[in-house]
């Protein structure tokens, strides 16, 4: 009887995990459509798969729900909306990331599987408008500096410039709200648009706010865009991380290019909250506590 009860509890927990994952996939507004398979990890060593740990432990690869970018050996930059489910937020203990591989469902010798020790959300993230859609994952261990297939990407040296050629990547859906998500990392080339174009009445009509930009074609026979499951992933220009996949209207919809968080706009916030700052804060707390203890003994 005890054995049966225990198995029932395990089955119930797994069912809830899978239901939660499906909900996350459907509710993630942002969204690679009309892209290409990435065949070499060179140039994509920063790419991160963010996963719901209970589901991924049960079925490797099925836990993926968002992307991210490694920005130093212990910090992943991603989107805040990835971790909101209704009125609650995911716990860091339920998160895990994979790095160093182009494959979502296959784990090889170079794949890193690292748990998350802390989730840092922007305190003024607004889910209804996607304003301040930015978050950091502080990893539980360092990514080795000499790892052959996992390395940080550079942060941007300037703000996004209209007309600049860039690239997005991820394991997201290839069509909006339908179809299987790809097993191999996909990428697509696109161009940054001016804020005036993005906010025109025939397009996003003022919804591209400060700290955001839009990128991709407005019309054409082959519109490239990010899609569900790509959220939080990188928009890379040259060798710099310029944008974070944030939101949009469907996927590859005419007149509605994808909207991205402007990384350059948030450089001070990133510097204040990344793992280096966290380590320094812990050091100061410990040092102060020890000093106070010694002083009180004198």
- Active site annotation includes 133: yes
DSSP H helices in 193-247? 195-198
DSSP 8-state symbol, 109? T
d(CA 255, CA 234): 22
Catalytic residue, chosen from 226, 231, 246, 275, is 231
CB neighbourhood size of 127 (10 A): 13
What stretch of H or E contains 27? helix 2-27
Cβ pair 113, 63 in contact under 8 A: no
Candidates 214, 72, 86, 93; CA nearest to 136 is 72
Q: What angle do CA 175, 181, 185 make, to 5 degrees?
A: 105
Helices and strands: H and E segment counts in the chain: 5, 15
Catalytic residue, chosen from 133, 225, 230, 262, is 133
- Active site annotation includes 81: yes
DSSP 8-state symbol, 265? G
| Tokens representing residue 118 in the block | 């802390």
Catalytic residue, chosen from 46, 64, 81, 122, is 81
d(CA 136, CA 121): 7
Between the alpha carbon of residue 229 and those of residues 31, 48, 159, 266, the distances in Å are 6, 12, 26, 23
CB neighbourhood size of 112 (10 A): 19
* 34: three-class secondary structure by DSSP: coil
| Tokens representing residue 202 in the block | 């025939």
Residues recognised as catalytic: 81, 133, 231
């Amino acid at each position: 009887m005890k054995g049966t009860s225990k198995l029932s509890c395990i089955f119930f927990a797994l069912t809830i995990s899978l239901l939660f994952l499906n909900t996350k996939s459907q509710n993630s507004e942002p969204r690679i459509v009309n892209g290409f398979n990435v065949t070499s990890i060179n140039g994509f060593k920063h790419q991160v798969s963010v996963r719901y740990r209970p589901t991924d432990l049960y079925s490797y690869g099925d836990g993926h729900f968002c992307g991210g970018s490694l920005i130093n050996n212990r910090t992943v930059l991603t989107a805040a909306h990835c971790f909101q489910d209704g009125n609650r937020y995911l716990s860091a203990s339920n998160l895990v990331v994979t790095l160093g591989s182009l494959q979502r469902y296959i784990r090889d010798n170079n794949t890193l599987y690292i748990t998350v020790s802390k989730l840092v959300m922007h305190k003024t993230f607004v889910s209804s408008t996607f304003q301040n859609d930015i978050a950091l994952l502080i990893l539980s261990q360092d990514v080795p500096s000499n790892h052959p297939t996992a390395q940080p990407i550079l942060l941007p040296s300037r703000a996004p410039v209209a007309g600049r050629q860039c690239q997005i990547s991820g394991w997201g859906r290839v069509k909006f709200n339908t179809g299987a998500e790809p097993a191999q990392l996909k990428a697509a080339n696109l161009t940054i648009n001016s804020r005036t174009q993005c906010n025109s009445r025939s397009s996003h009509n003022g919804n591209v706010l400060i700290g955001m930009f839009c990128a991709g074609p407005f019309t054409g026979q082959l519109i490239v865009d990010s899609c569900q499951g790509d959220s939080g992933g990188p928009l890379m220009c040259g060798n710099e991380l310029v944008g974070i996949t944030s939101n949009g209207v469907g996927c590859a919809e005419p007149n509605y290019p994808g909207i991205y968080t402007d990384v350059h706009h948030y450089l001070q916030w990133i510097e204040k909250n990344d793992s280096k700052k966290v380590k320094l804060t812990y050091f100061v707390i410990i040092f102060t506590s020890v000093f106070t203890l010694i002083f009180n003994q004198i």
